[in-house]
């Protein structure tokens, strides 16, 4: 760690302990830069990062919850084709009104 600090010209106390050095390294890390963010910026947009899997911010989480509940009511055979067909049927059965309500919920 000290070699890294020296190589990158980062100052640190001469008698710093490992915990202090970790703190220095954490503060000197460059900000994360995602390719998608740069691409969106280049086209005049910005990316909104939301908490993953949080239903208050992501309407898809409420819809996915409904789909899973409906799927659990049906016990498909173990054939991969039957499982895929069952999922597709369950997804298609979610009414547009429900999707609209999920989106309205996240807008509040």
- Report pTM: 0.54
Q: What is the pLDDT of residues 10-60, one digit of tens each?
A: 888 888 888 888 888 888 777 888 999 999 999 999 998 888 888 888 889
- The pLDDT value recorded for residue 24 is 85
* 67 band by pLDDT with thresholds 50, 70 and 90: very high
Say yes or no to pLDDT of 7 above 90.
Answer: no
Instruction: Give CA–CA dist 26/30, Å, rounded.
Output: 9
> Averaged over 80-98, what is the pLDDT?
91
Distance of CA 7 to the CA centre of its chain: 34
DSSP notation for 11-32: ---TT--HHHHHHHHHHHSPPP
What's the mean per-residue pLDDT of the chain?
A: 88
What percent of the chain has pLDDT above 70? 99
């Amino acid at each position: 760690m000290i070699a890294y600090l020296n190589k990158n010209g980062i100052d640190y106390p001469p008698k710093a302990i490992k915990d202090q050095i970790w703190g220095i390294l954490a503060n000197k890390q460059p900000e994360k830069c995602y390719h998608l963010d740069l691409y969106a910026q280049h086209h005049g947009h910005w990316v909104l990062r939301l908490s993953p899997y949080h239903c208050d911010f992501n309407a898809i989480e409420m819809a996915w919850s409904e789909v899973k509940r409906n799927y659990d009511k049906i016990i498909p055979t173990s054939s991969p084709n039957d499982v895929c067909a069952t999922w597709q049927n369950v997804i298609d059965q979610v009414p547009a009104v429900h999707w609209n309500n999920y989106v309205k919920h996240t807008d509040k």
